[in-house]
Structure 1
Amino acid sequence: MSRVDWSAHPLVLAPMAGDPSTVALAAAVAGEGMFPFLAGAYVTVERLRADIVALRASTSAPFGVNLFAPSPNLPSMLDDARTYAALLDPWAQAAGVALGEPRYDDDGFDTKVAALVELAPAVVSFSFAWPPAETVAALRSAGCEVWVTINDPAEVAWAVELGVDGLVAQGWEAGGHRGGPQDTGEDQLPVRKLVMAVRSLTRLPVMAAGGVMTGGDAHALLSAGATAVAFGTAFLACPEAGTADVHRHSLTHREATTVTRAFTGRSARALVTTWTQRFGPASPAAYPHVHHVTAPLRAHGKATGEAELVHLWAGTGHAQVRELPAAELARLLTAELKTG
């Protein structure tokens, strides 16, 4: 039996790895009936444990945790990342920053899975790749629902075979990384068309994600067959979010977004900057190798407020972002949902 009554929690706070997701943000929206996710990627297992404990101390509502499943480590990726680093190096030197070394890691996947089996949040979702079948089984045995992210209807059959409990259908409009298991680098379906295509292939619950900024947006996706609808970019400007100041400012002061591998070696939607325009076409499919190369430069950009040096993740609806406390925004989205 599902641990989550999605009819009672149709609006979801998406996980936003790399600082925006915080316990305070999750707790605030949970108090208003939304289903929150914590981002388990890019944090230590100790931090993940502490966040789960802190959220449980703040709310009795159900919540989820998202992990990045380990990406393939192809032999070519290290060389490709080194070539890209050589291209970036003069630009980094001009900023007074030494680039990082390209390398592979799995973000502590096994230790984080073990912690989640022990702590058993209501939902564990995965992005970037499929979790091993034994991981799915262990989490489900612990009482967790297991969801995976897809970007293409062709991925539905694989997910069903894996035995998961639900699908996150991430449309082309979504900010941040493409979460599905295949980073093709090609344009993909917008969220409404993706939801309808996925719904025609499976009876599994479907969570829609991508460019959703209002309750009216969510109503349209629920009407198209989604079980629940996730909001990410919409919450980046909330005071409870850990969003960098330069990122907050850019959401309403830049117009265009692009999908690029320039920052991490994996396709992701960000606001257009000098970095994306100058280096995006040359960036290889080499995650997380490129992520480690560029991390020092991106951290420098955040610290100094140099937007051209920051990965400004944003969905296509970013201009509609509302700078409200998270609880107030959650109430507003719920009211908008009711009025359609």
Structure 2
Amino acid sequence: MSSAPSLHASPDLSTPFSRRFGLRLPLVQGPMAGGPTTPALVAAVSNAGGLGFLAGAALAPEKIASEVAAIRALTDKPFGVNLFVLDPANPGEATVRRALEAIDPVAAQFGLPPGVALARYAPDFRTQLDVVIALRVPVVSFTFGLLPQADVARLHAAGSFVMGTATHVAEALAWREAGADAIVAQGAEAGGHRGTFIGEAPHALIGTMALVPQLVDAVSAVDARGASGLPVLAAGGIMDGRGIVAALALGAQGVQMGTAFLGCEESAIPADWKARLRASADTATSVTRAITGRHARGIRNPLMQQLEARPETVAPYPVQNALTQPLRQRAARENDGDYLSLWSGQGAPLSRRREAGLGARQIVEALDAEWRTLLGKLPGNVSGNPSHES
């Protein structure tokens, strides 16, 4: 591998977004809720010149605080925390009973007792938000819903840069109206949960190549009231330097890559999940709501197939997610990928182009070398594209 360039990208190979955070390349590491994004992973990406991101959505508020402290002990570079915008879940008894009718027989294969209704199905979002504001996290992103303007203002007052996830134009415009600083364009190729919050998720499966330029056109220009345009980050199917260059050519100011880091050394997912990522084919993933109650893309396995067989029993997120969690946690302890939620993007087979088990720093360095090499072969450069000027 060639020697790494300096941490700060040269002006001709940077965007306003990467310059704002002093990034070596315009790269955000996808948060990936469910365990992959350890403090070690987040810090390694930030130290290598990308923007590391902690998945905070599934964490209790005090756990978010301890994870942020651990990240700060490992890096003095900018990093982010992602949260899911959720209202408290109060399912009826019948909803829980129906869901467990399908889940319990699967869980029994691991010797687990029948499930029961829970006092809480997810951490309290409002408390999570208060903690993140108090911690003055440099970057905070949101998925699953729209944050009120007042909360965006609170984050800004704490010095946080706010990013909203959008799967189509109306959502991007809603985030712009709420005061967000950037939009993450989540293409249909992306692994994990869909961020759709306006309309039906199956209707918002827009590919990254089609989605990014439409969002750029919608939010990058100065609006009629004189408000500045927003940078767009491309997410979904981007696994190497080719994807980064393609996203920038479409007008994005950066990329968010999750699956590319899912199998890295610092990722906390089980070994069988990592192995299945590298062994997967281009048709290996499906979008399902059967595992968690919300549409998400992952590698098909018996868990997905068995729960999909009874769609009428699936409870809404986060209820279904909480009820299947004991089963998935047991499968993780036993390294049994048949009963994990194998979240993965459609680009996972491209991971075979790299050695297995690379560290996050090595991946960032490889990506940096790839996109710089490709841009060096193209006429013009990133900063010469007017769509990258804020």
TM-score normalised by structure 1 residue count: 0.92
Partner of residue 19 from structure 1, selected from 24, 30, 35: 35
Partner Cα separation in structure 2 for residue 99 and residue 183 of structure 1 = 35
Partner Cα separation in structure 2 for residue 138 and residue 215 of structure 1 = 36
Q: Which amino acid aligns with 2:208?
A: V
Q: Which amino acid aligns with 1:169?
A: A
Is 1:52 the counterpart of 2:85 in the alignment? no
> Residue 251 of structure 2 aligns to a residue in which SS?
coil
1:74 Cα offset (Å) = 7.7
Partner of residue 145 from structure 1, selected from 156, 161, 172: 161
Tell me which moved more, 82-91 or 264-273.
82-91
Partner Cα separation in structure 1 for residue 196 and residue 53 of structure 2 = 18
Q: Which amino acid aligns with 1:93?
A: A
8 Å contact 1:251–1:318 — kept in the other structure?
A: yes
In structure 2, the CA distance between the partners of 1:55 and 1:95, relative to structure 1 (3 Å rule), is closer
Matches within 5 A, 1:48-127: 48-71=64-87, 73=89, 79-102=94-117, 105-127=121-143
CA RMSD of aligned residues (A): 2.2
Tell me which moved more, 271-280 or 323-332.
271-280
1:195 Cα offset (Å) = 0.6
In structure 2, the CA distance between the partners of 1:2 and 1:145, relative to structure 1 (3 Å rule), is farther
* Structure 2 counterpart of 1:32: 48
* Structure 2 counterpart of 1:262: 290
Partner of residue 328 from structure 2, selected from 282, 289, 298: 298
Q: Deviations over 1:12-45 (max 9, x none)?
A: 1110112100111111111221011111121122
* Structure 1 counterpart of 2:206: 189
Partner of residue 151 from structure 2, selected from 132, 135, 144: 135
In structure 2, the CA distance between the partners of 1:254 and 1:66, relative to structure 1 (3 Å rule), is same
Q: Which ranges in structure 2 are unaligned for 5 or more consecutive residues?
A: 1-15, 221-229, 375-390
Partner Cα separation in structure 1 for residue 309 and residue 202 of structure 2 = 13
Tell me which moved more, 276-285 or 47-56.
276-285
How much identity, in percent, do the aligned residues show?
37
In structure 2, the CA distance between the partners of 1:102 and 1:126, relative to structure 1 (3 Å rule), is farther
In structure 2, the CA distance between the partners of 1:140 and 1:201, relative to structure 1 (3 Å rule), is same
* Structure 2 counterpart of 1:286: 316
Off by >6 Å, runs of 4+ in structure 1: 1-4
1:183 Cα offset (Å) = 6.9
8 Å contact 1:147–1:166 — kept in the other structure?
A: yes
Partner Cα separation in structure 1 for residue 99 and residue 39 of structure 2 = 36
Is 1:271 the counterpart of 2:299 in the alignment? yes
8 Å contact 2:18–2:26 — kept in the other structure?
A: no
* Structure 2 counterpart of 1:327: 361
Partner Cα separation in structure 2 for residue 121 and residue 242 of structure 1 = 23
8 Å contact 2:58–2:122 — kept in the other structure?
A: no
Partner Cα separation in structure 2 for residue 17 and residue 171 of structure 1 = 17
Q: Deviations over 1:40-78 (max 9, x none)?
A: 1211222211221222222221111101111475867x6
1:91 Cα offset (Å) = 2.4
1:285 Cα offset (Å) = 5.8
Q: Deviations over 1:102-133 (max 9, x none)?
A: 55545222222222212212211111111233
Q: Which amino acid aligns with 1:216?
A: R
Partner of residue 223 from structure 1, selected from 228, 234, 249: 249
8 Å contact 2:99–2:315 — kept in the other structure?
A: no
Partner Cα separation in structure 2 for residue 301 and residue 160 of structure 1 = 41
Q: Which amino acid aligns with 1:87?
A: A
Tell me which moved more, 48-57 or 294-303.
48-57
Matches within 5 A, 1:150-229: 150-182=166-198, 184-187=200-203, 188-203=205-220, 204-229=230-255
Q: Deviations over 1:198-221 (max 9, x none)?
A: 111112111111121101111101
Partner Cα separation in structure 2 for residue 272 and residue 336 of structure 1 = 31
> Residue 265 of structure 2 aligns to a residue in which SS?
coil
Q: Which amino acid aligns with 1:328?
A: Q
1:174 Cα offset (Å) = 0.5
Q: Which amino acid aligns with 1:312?
A: L
1:92 Cα offset (Å) = 2.1
1:254 Cα offset (Å) = 3.5
Partner Cα separation in structure 1 for residue 85 and residue 371 of structure 2 = 33
8 Å contact 1:11–1:229 — kept in the other structure?
A: yes
1:84 Cα offset (Å) = 2.8
TM-score normalised by structure 2 residue count: 0.81
